[in-house]
């Protein structure tokens, strides 16, 4: 038996109401793992290199999750999330030693994945990454689940047409910045909102046609009327709440609302209602929620197209990087408060290739 230190991002016993606090609700804790222990059939031991910090992590802290596709984390146990890792050893046919895998795992330095896990189906071997000229972190961001979410949500749910107006909330985030740039590639007029002047400047840099700081805007509906005088055709919703109400006021007939997330409700134990949903009826608006897990069949198409656009510099991608798993808890809290600029990742270790 060889016990190796293994740091984990853990959900503590006191569940958060509102924003989580490091040391009170989440923390990094050191345990040990025996890397020589035999694996059961259908298991693989992996070493984590990059952790993706995503908004859905807040939903997993509820104890009784209201999101059917996001199971709750057990208290006093490691949290889970999207990671890029190397296989150390495997009793799973499709995984071999030294394979690079991307998928949802426990957030710890070393972890065991199992073919019986409900998220196993989204874990992919990505050995092509070994020869990539793009940053490793991109494969949990613009070329990972956030990018796939943006691609599937805009194309499959939003059904945009050249010349239409697209509005993206949380537009400087991991998903939003991709949605906006995809919209520009498709020939749309693209509007965006974000929560700081620095983020607004970045959105202008990557080609958004009009942007505003929602924190300094007194009336979002009036601002959208000003910026989109011909109305909104597609809304990629990451926030819900007041912004969704404002979009319904400014949406065109047959507009499509892509409900990706509603972060304005993530930190409240009470559901926040939208007061003007009746607008959907006379305007014939489609409001559709989706999860990226429903569009795994698009993964190769998405990867190939977005990789090419990145190489051609038709798309840019901004990241905030925390080095070392010791900073993972604070990185998660900072991202929830909107302190990150772009995709928040945690660099845990470097691969050997």
E strands along 202-269, which residues?
210-213, 232-237, 251-259
Q: Which CATH number fits domain 3-141+317-347: 3.90.180.10, 2.60.40.2220, 3.40.50.300, 3.90.1150.10?
A: 3.90.180.10
d(CA 9, CA 30): 9
Give the H/E segment covering residue 305. helix 299-311
3-state secondary structure of 57: helix
63-73 CB burial, b ≥16 within 10 A, e <16: eeeeeeebebb
Residue where the block lists tokens 């590639």: 185
Q: Is the pLDDT of residue 269 over 70?
A: no
Give the H/E segment covering residue 311. helix 299-311
Band of pLDDT at residue 221, cut at 50, 70 and 90: very high
Question: What is the tens place of the pLDDT at every residue in 103-135?
Answer: 999 999 999 999 998 888 788 999 999 999 999
What is the pLDDT at residue 2?
77
Q: Is the pLDDT of residue 66 over 60?
A: no
d(CA 188, CA 154): 12
What is the pLDDT at residue 268?
66
**What distance separates the 2 farthest-apart alpha carbons in the chain?**
69
Mean pLDDT along residues 278-287: 98
Give the H/E segment covering residue 150. helix 145-152
What is the pLDDT at residue 341?
87
Q: Is the pLDDT of residue 319 over 70?
A: yes
Question: Cα 348 to chain center, whole Å?
Answer: 18
Give the H/E segment covering residue 83. strand 80-90
d(CA 95, CA 78): 23
Mean pLDDT along residues 160-185: 97
Mean pLDDT along residues 288-308: 95
- The torsion angles phi and psi of 135, rounded to 5 degrees, stand at -60, 145
What is the pLDDT at residue 243?
96
Torsion of CA 284, 289, 293, 298, to 10 degrees: 30
Structural fold of domain 145-293: Rossmann fold (3.40.50)
Mean pLDDT along residues 245-262: 97
Least confident of 113-127, 233-247, 279-293: 113-127
d(CA 292, CA 190): 22
Instruction: Please determine whether the domains at 3-141+317-347 and 145-293 fall in the same fold group of CATH.
Output: no
d(CA 246, CA 138): 33
Long-range contacts of 140-143 (CB under 8 A, 24+ apart): 140/50, 140/51, 140/52, 140/82, 140/83, 140/84, 140/102, 140/345, 141/52, 141/174, 141/317, 141/319, 141/343, 141/345, 142/178, 142/306, 142/310, 142/315, 142/317, 142/343, 143/303, 143/306, 143/307, 143/310
Residue boundaries of the structural domains of the chain: 3-141+317-347, 145-293
Band of pLDDT at residue 245, cut at 50, 70 and 90: very high
Q: Is the pLDDT of residue 69 over 80?
A: no
3-state secondary structure of 244: helix
pTM: 0.94
Residues in the chain: 353
Residue where the block lists tokens 């601002």: 223
**DSSP for 14-49?**
S--SSS--BTTTEEEEEEEEETTSPPPTTEEEEEEE
d(CA 315, CA 236): 18
- Report DSSP state, residue 71: P
More confident position, 333 or 269 = 333
Question: What is the tens place of the pLDDT at every residue in 2-20?
Answer: 789 999 999 999 989 889 9
């Amino acid at each position: 038996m060889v016990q190796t230190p293994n740091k984990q991002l853990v959900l503590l016993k006191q569940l958060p109401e509102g924003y989580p606090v490091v040391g009170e609700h989440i923390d990094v804790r050191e345990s040990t793992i025996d890397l020589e222990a035999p694996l059961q059939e259908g298991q693989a031991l992996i070493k984590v290199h990059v952790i993706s910090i995503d908004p859905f992590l807040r939903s997993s802290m509820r104890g009784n999750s209201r999101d059917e596709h996001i199971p709750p984390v057990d208290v006093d146990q490691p949290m889970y999330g999207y990671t890029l890792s190397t296989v150390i050893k495997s009793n799973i046919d499709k995984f071999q030693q030294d394979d690079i895998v991307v998928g949802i795992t426990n957030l710890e330095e070393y972890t065991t994945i199992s073919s019986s896990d409900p998220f196993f189906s989204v874990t992919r071997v990505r050995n092509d990454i070994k020869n990539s000229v793009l940053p490793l972190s991109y494969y949990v961001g613009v070329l990972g689940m956030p990018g796939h979410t943006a691609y599937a949500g805009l194309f499959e749910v939003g059904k945009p047409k050249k010349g239409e107006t697209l509005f993206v909330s949380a537009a400087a985030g991991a998903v939003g910045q991709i949605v906006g740039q995809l919209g520009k590639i498709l020939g749309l007029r693209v509007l965006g909102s974000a929560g700081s002047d620095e983020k607004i400047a970045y959105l202008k840099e990557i080609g958004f046609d009009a942007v505003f700081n929602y924190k300094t805007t007194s009336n979002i509906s009036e601002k959208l009327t000003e910026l989109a005088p011909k109305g909104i055709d597609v809304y990629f919703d990451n926030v819900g709440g007041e912004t969704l109400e404002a979009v319904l006021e400014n949406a065109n007939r047959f507009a499509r609302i892509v409900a990706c997330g509603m972060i304005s409700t993530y930190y409240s134990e009470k559901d926040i209602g939208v007061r003007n949903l009746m607008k959907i009826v006379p305007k014939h608006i489609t409001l559709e929620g989706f999860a990226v897990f429903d569009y795994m069949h698009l993964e190769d198409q998405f990867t190939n197209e977005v990789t090419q656009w990145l190489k051609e510099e038709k798309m840019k991608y901004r990241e905030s990087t925390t080095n070392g798993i010791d900073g993972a808890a604070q990185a998660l809290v900072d991202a929830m408060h909107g302190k990150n600029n772009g995709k928040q990742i945690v660099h845990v270790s470097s691969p050997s290739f």
